[in-house]
Amino acid sequence: MEFENLSVEDIQKQLEKLDRNRSDLEKVLEQRQQQAKYDLAQQIKDMIAERGYDLAEMVRLISGRKRRGAAPARRASGRQYTKYMDPDNPANIYVRGVIPGWMKQKMQEQGYDPGSKQDREAFKANSLQVVE
């Protein structure tokens, strides 16, 4: 089709027709995608049943839910906290919160008061290494 010879009104009609077709195609695409999901889910259910497994158990395994007693999932807040490492023992890491025993002991040995925020900050700055 030659668009050069179309009038403004004809071009507008063509565009409106294209918009309607696009809208209809998007609806059909969404329906087909939903149906494909349902079909896949049914195939998976059938496979599980054929092998004699419990569907609920398999869903738990697939969804990755942690076992009872496992640590709770961390919130994805995006906050990054500074990690501090004991240079004498790299296994000793402090991030934030309750001061671990190894850190209290080292602070006291070096004359810092673990109950004082100023002393904690000074100890972290002078005696621990920042882990990146």
Taking only the tens place, the pLDDT of each residue in 81-91 is 889 999 888 88
User: Would you say residue 123 has pLDDT above 60?
Assistant: yes
Please tell me whether residues 51 and 88 are part of one structural domain: no
Please tell me whether residues 14 and 57 are part of one structural domain: yes
Rounded CA-CA distance 107/98 in Å is 14
pLDDT at 59: 86
Number of domains the chain is built from: 2
Q: What pLDDT band is residue 10 in, cutting at 50, 70 and 90?
A: very high
Q: Show the domain range for 105.
A: 83-131
Rounded CA-CA distance 81/74 in Å is 13
For the chain, state the CA radius of gyration: 31
Encoded amino acid at 95, one letter: V
pLDDT at 67: 57
Encoded amino acid at 111, one letter: G
Q: Would you say residue 104 lies in a domain?
A: yes
Taking only the tens place, the pLDDT of each residue in 30-49 is 999 999 999 998 999 999 99
- The model carries a pTM of 0.42
Q: Would you say residue 16 lies in a domain?
A: yes
